[in-house]
Amino acid sequence: MRLIVHLDNMGGMKILLVGAGGVGDAIAKIAARRSFFEQMIVSDYDVTRAERTIAWIEAKHGPQGERFVAAQIDASDAAVVERVAREHGATIVMNAVEPKFVMPIFTGAKAAGADYVDMAMSLSVPHPDEPYAKTGVKLGDEQFEAASEWEKDGRLALVGMGVEPGLSNVFARYAVDHLFSEVDELGTRDGANLVVRDDNGNEIFAPSFSIWTTIEECLNPPVIFEKEKGWYTTPPFSEPEVFDFPEGIGPVECVNVEHEEVLMMPRWLDAKRVTFKYGLGDEFIGILKTLNQLGLDKTQPIRVRSANGPVEVSPRDVVAAGLPDPATLGPRMTGKTCAGLWVTGTGKDGQPREVYLYHVSDNEWTMAEYEAQCVVWQTALNPVVALELLATGVWSGAGVLGPEAFDAKPFLDLMAKPESEGGYGQAWGLEERTPAVTA
């Protein structure tokens, strides 16, 4: 990996933040407490959302001058992304919108000569004949295919740098480098005890993250990696297991879900098996299955009669429009969410070892500090830490790289160090577990 640092002529990072929804809003709010960048251009298709985020920052931290500016952008058009990046002299593009916009933003950033960061990768396409056994187009394939072009240009695309993928990948690099001599499984495990209630205090169905993305992840064939077999798929919600999450969350049933970690970790790290399992719950799984049975998970527009004549709409977009915006759920939500990586194998001492590396986000705290619900805030934290490491030159590189390609220790140290000492004040945990005994 060729080491390089990109800074503009003023010696500062200028960040074009694409998207001022839940995660984008939280990214800007977290970054407002840091001094590593010269300017953040907060952009959205609805520019009033970007302006609202900046107004919150100024109310909280005082006038920002030109440090935060708002811009209108169409994330579906690579040429528009390039134009906005060039107009503002952006040195890096931070993608904070849904995965369906990855490729135009990725392409627009490259055309503008900027570096790029995202939190989810280009979409997959199931195998046409055996979707529950073989992979088709895998998550991230389109981006990884462009790696040589990015490297040739001396630009960096840091992909999958949210919480999952993102922090989970950082944990994986840390475990391989510092905890294990041989890894049997890198297993991302995500669970929560979050509850959302209506005005009358009744528990309601309201996904805490984009339903568009959730449907994509949960109804596509999950991918598993095994060193001897490579990547293969299973039916959705396969291989259920009860996983015990820390800090009061407790046991949650988790199932296989399609996720980027499985497609990323094996490219840089040596492990016999890589999996991703998510704690969904019976109600959520039932609703997702119903949406699939009714065809409401489809993204291709269908023709619908309306009072103003026939219109074409995407069923999945209709479902998303009918549910509460995840960014607005914070006041109605209680509980914690946990993102982490379960690792099994042989420790540095040659003995069997099993650990869970994790980070917990408490909704009460994130709402009090940032007026952001905990799931979107936890997702937003990690790209800001990564941007700071890139701005200071601690992390640098060229090509299309995942978090595993970088030294994990500086990231985890900066994340955990108290704010009073220049860090982010977000402790992460390492829980030793008893290795399973095999006959």
More confident residue, 139 or 217: 139
Instruction: Tell me the pLDDT band of 297, cut-offs 50, 70 and 90.
Output: confident
Q: Which among 1, 26, 41, 14 is positioned nearest to 329, based on CA atoms?
A: 26
pLDDT at 209 over 80: no
The residue to which tokens 């650990």 are assigned? 355
Q: What is the 3-state secondary structure (H, E, C) of 378-389?
A: HHHHHHHHHHHH
185-206 tens-digit pLDDT: 999 999 999 988 888 888 877 7
353-385 tens-digit pLDDT: 999 999 999 999 999 999 999 999 999 999 999
Q: What is the mean pLDDT of residues 77-84?
A: 98
Beta bridge partners of 158: 117, 401
pLDDT at 265 over 70: yes
Q: Which among 32, 67, 115, 42 is positioned nearest to 390, based on CA atoms?
A: 115
pLDDT at 4 over 70: no
Q: What are phi and psi of 50, to 5 degrees?
A: -65, -40
Q: What is the mean pLDDT of residues 410-431?
A: 97
- What pLDDT, on the 0 to 100 scale, is given for residue 8? 36
- Judged by average pLDDT, the poorest of 3-7, 20-24, 130-134, 232-236 is 3-7
Which DSSP symbol is given to 136?
S
Phi-psi region of 141 (alpha: psi -120 to 50; beta: other; left: phi over 0): alpha
Q: Which among 85, 118, 105 is positioned nearest to 8, based on CA atoms?
A: 85
Q: What is the mean pLDDT of residues 385-394?
A: 98
- What pLDDT, on the 0 to 100 scale, is given for residue 299? 82
- What pLDDT, on the 0 to 100 scale, is given for residue 18? 98
For each of the domains in the chain, give its residue range(s) and CATH number, in order of start.
Answer: 13-162+376-421 (3.40.50.720), 167-369+429-433 (3.30.360.10)
**Average pLDDT of the chain to the nearest whole number:** 92
For residue 425, which amino acid is it? Answer: G
Task: Judge whether 16 and 95 are in contact, CB under 8 Å.
Answer: no
What's the CA gap between 105 and 345, in Å, rounded?
39
- What pLDDT, on the 0 to 100 scale, is given for residue 2? 28
Q: What is the mean pLDDT of residues 18-22?
A: 96
Which DSSP symbol is given to 203?
B
- Judged by average pLDDT, the poorest of 118-132, 306-320, 342-356 is 306-320
For the entire predicted model, the pTM comes to 0.91
For residue 375, which amino acid is it? Answer: V
Q: Which of 178-187, 235-244, 301-310 has the highest mean pLDDT?
A: 178-187
- Judged by average pLDDT, the poorest of 49-63, 220-234, 286-300 is 286-300
- What pLDDT, on the 0 to 100 scale, is given for residue 438? 53
- What pLDDT, on the 0 to 100 scale, is given for residue 305? 83
Q: How many helices (H) and strands (E) does the chain have?
A: 14, 20
Q: What is the mean pLDDT of residues 66-81?
A: 98
